[in-house]
Structure 1
Amino acid sequence: MDALLHSLSATLQITAPVFIIVFLGVLFKQWRWLDDHFVRVASTLVFRVTLPTLVFLNISKTNIRESLDPGVLLYASAVTLISFFLLIWAARIMVQTPADRGVFIQGSFRGNQGIIGMALVANQFGEAGLPMASLLLGCLIILYNILSVIALSTSQPERSGMGWKPVFMDIVKNPLILSVVLALPFSYFQWTLPPLLLKTGTYFSGMTLPLALLCIGASLSLKALRASSLASWGATGMKLAILPVLMTWGAWYLGWTGQTLGILFLYFASPTAAGSFVMAKAMGANGALAANIVALTTVGSTLTITLGVFFLHWLQLV
């Protein structure tokens, strides 16, 4: 019993602070302390400035020659690709409307690692876990964007006039990817920033997670939750339960435990990224379904991630 209570206490210390801030965002929006304009401006600031700064500092301050594990990046990319093809098959069975299958697929695999995942890693492993989490984030962002376009285009080819050039430019100009690329030479050659720039960057990066989590909470739509469909519930089950369990089990089977297994689980179990809604709308897909999936997975992940972290601690795998 003591071991059980210890595991539960350790779990809540990791997950509770993150989700408390998310639900504070919901309350602040209800109380009109936050509005849509604030959420748009703050989200832009996080995406373009504070989160890239956090990622840059995390990578640049570590020695990539000693800490980089290419196997982890390869595994995360491989299981994401495998899950993508499994979801194509699942969508044909679970989603009756062909045009909605791309939204289902994207919502089932595209996680919010940049905010929820990073926040949970920071809570569980502190600064020691952030360099690997940042490298993994940069790798998955590229893969997620490519697979999302494929899913949305193939499910409604008459609306796929967006083409590949804008997607390629979005990837090249993505602030998070640029921050990873810029940080790699600093990490490899062990360059250090001037103290003034380092302290300024530390101030910016410190804003990232609380501000972003508040914005996620303020963006949640209770109307979307009430309007949830079978397709949105199916994508939620895939994103929060089936895929994280299979992917984490595969990582454990290959011999990863401790920090590496913990980071992989937290990334695989993260709720659907809000960017999936933006891309679905941009490509003329079912935006309401995409919003439902984001809302359901964000709320549901408070339970599933907490349970997952609890069992990993209880089994002494992390």
Structure 2
Amino acid sequence: MFALLHETLTITAPVFCMLLVGVLLRRIGLIDEVFIYSASSLVFNATMPTLLFLGIVEMDPDVPIHPGVLVYLCLASVLGFLFAWGWALRHCPRADRGVYVQGAFRGNNGTVGLALAASLYGSYGLSLGSVMAGAVILFYNGLSSIVLAVYSPTAKTDAWSLCKTILRNPLIIGVLLASPFAWFDIRLPTWLLTSGHYFAQMTMPLALICIGASLSLSSLRRSSELAFSASLMKMVWLPLVSTLGAWLLGFRGADLGVLFLYFASPTASVSFIMARAVNGNHELAAAIVAITTVAAVLTTNIGLFVLQWAGWI
């Protein structure tokens, strides 16, 4: 457990440090609101789609696919989304509902979840985790696009407009463009992949710096109740219910362990980028990312300890 705690800290500490870098840079005046807007736009429209594209294109075609695990992960994600939305309808101001729902159900599976799965289960965890991360990309981005558009002050909410919002989402476009390359095993030139990686590697630093720069004591105070509520749902209630459901359906061992790690991942940093892109409450989104990232160090290790103590993984 000490080794696992160290591994969790190794993964989450750099994320938290980059948030602090953003706070510091904003405090000393090296970046301002104009930079945050421009950098967030660059991440949402270019670097993050490139990162998703490369992740799918370079996915190992020989990775063993577990249909039951993938189906349950997607189903649990949808049900978690619906539960969070139902909760938000009763407990959130209308303007903040989209950001709250996204923060409460969307995990950072591509970074934290995948890294922990690889650490805990080696090559099997990496293979299974990669397939699982690819499976939920469309669900996360599609559902987030819908709920953010519904409560956006500028977006239209009729069925056709929502469909266009989803299809125009750069993250979804990146996934759809990559799918034929992965399906038909089309190899891109090495120089193009290398250039793409140079470009995509800007995604996490820029996104986290923008989140940190948007954090302030006043914004945290304004959004503290909603931010803590969404964080509690993301880090405690949804992982607890989803993992218990997986156990009741017969998942055991590495399959159950990787499912838990994905359910228990902190809120994805791209949730801040998407909230800002639709003129949502990006300060609330930033607070949720920060709180869940810190909480993951505790909740992930407690959850794994309980699962190992019970003999389920």
Which TM-score bucket, shorter chain as reference?
A: 0.7 to 0.9
Conserved 8 A contact 1:248-1:264 = yes
- Which structure 2 residues correspond to residues 163-242 of structure 1 after superposition, within 5 A? 163-228=158-223, 230-242=225-237
Q: CA deviation at 1:225?
A: 0.9
Q: Is the 8 A contact 2:265 2:296 kept in 1?
A: yes
> Distance between the aligned counterparts of 2:264 and 2:2, measured in 1?
25
CA shift for structure 1 position 267? 5.3
Residue 52 to residue 260, structure 1, CA distance change in 2 (3 Å): farther
Deviates more, 1:172-181 or 1:63-72: 63-72
Whole-angstrom distance in 2 between the partners of 1:135 and 1:62: 12
Q: What's the TM-score once normalised by structure 2's chain length? A: 0.78
Question: Which consecutive residues of structure 2, in runs of 5 or more, have no partner in the other structure?
Answer: 120-125
Q: Tell me how many residue pairs correspond in the alignment.
A: 298
Could you say if the C-alpha distance between residues 51 and 280 of structure 1 is closer, same or farther in structure 2, counting changes exceeding 3 Å?
Answer: closer
CA-to-partner distance for each residue in 1:135-174, whole Å, 9 max, x for gaps?
3222321123234556x49xx9xx9964233321121121
Residue in 1 that maps onto 2:123: none
The reply to whether residue 271 of structure 1 matches residue 290 of structure 2 is no
Distance 1:27 1:53, change over 3 A: same
SS of residue paired to 1:34: coil
The residue aligned with 1:294 is 285
**Deviation by residue 1:226-253 (Cα, 9 ceiling, x = unmatched):** 1236455433322332123222333344
SS at match of 1:21: helix
Alpha carbons of 1:197 and 1:165: their partners in 2 closer, same or farther (altered >3 Å)? same
**Alpha-carbon distance in 2 for matches of 1:198, 1:103:** 35
Amino acid in structure 2 at the alignment position of 1:58 = G
- Listed one character per residue, the Cα deviations across residues 117-136 of structure 1 (whole Å, up to 9, x for unaligned) are 43324543387544532332
Give yes or no for contact 2:57–2:182 (8 Å, CA) kept in 1: yes
Aligned residue among 65, 78, 87 for 1:81 = 78
Aligned-partner SS, 1:251? helix
Pairing 1:110-189 to 2, within 5 Å after superposition:
110-111=105-106, 113=107, 116-121=108-113, 123-124=115-116, 125=118, 128=127, 129-149=129-149, 152=151, 162-189=157-184
Percent identity, aligned pairs only?
A: 31
Distance (whole Å) between structure 2 residues aligned to residue 180 and residue 172 of structure 1: 11
- Name segments (4+ residues, structure 1) moved above 6 Å: none
| 3-state SS in 2 of match to 1:228 | helix
Aligned partners of 1:44, 1:259: CA distance in 2, in Å? 36
Give the aligned residue type for 1:224.
S
**Distance between the aligned counterparts of 1:279 and 1:226, measured in 2?**
23
Q: 1:313 to 1:162 in 2, by over 3 A?
A: closer
Alignment check: 8 A CA contact 2:149 2:157 kept: no
Partner of 1:284: none
- Which of residues 234, 242, 257 is equivalent to 1:247? 242
Q: In 1, distance between residues paired with 2:45 and 2:95? A: 30
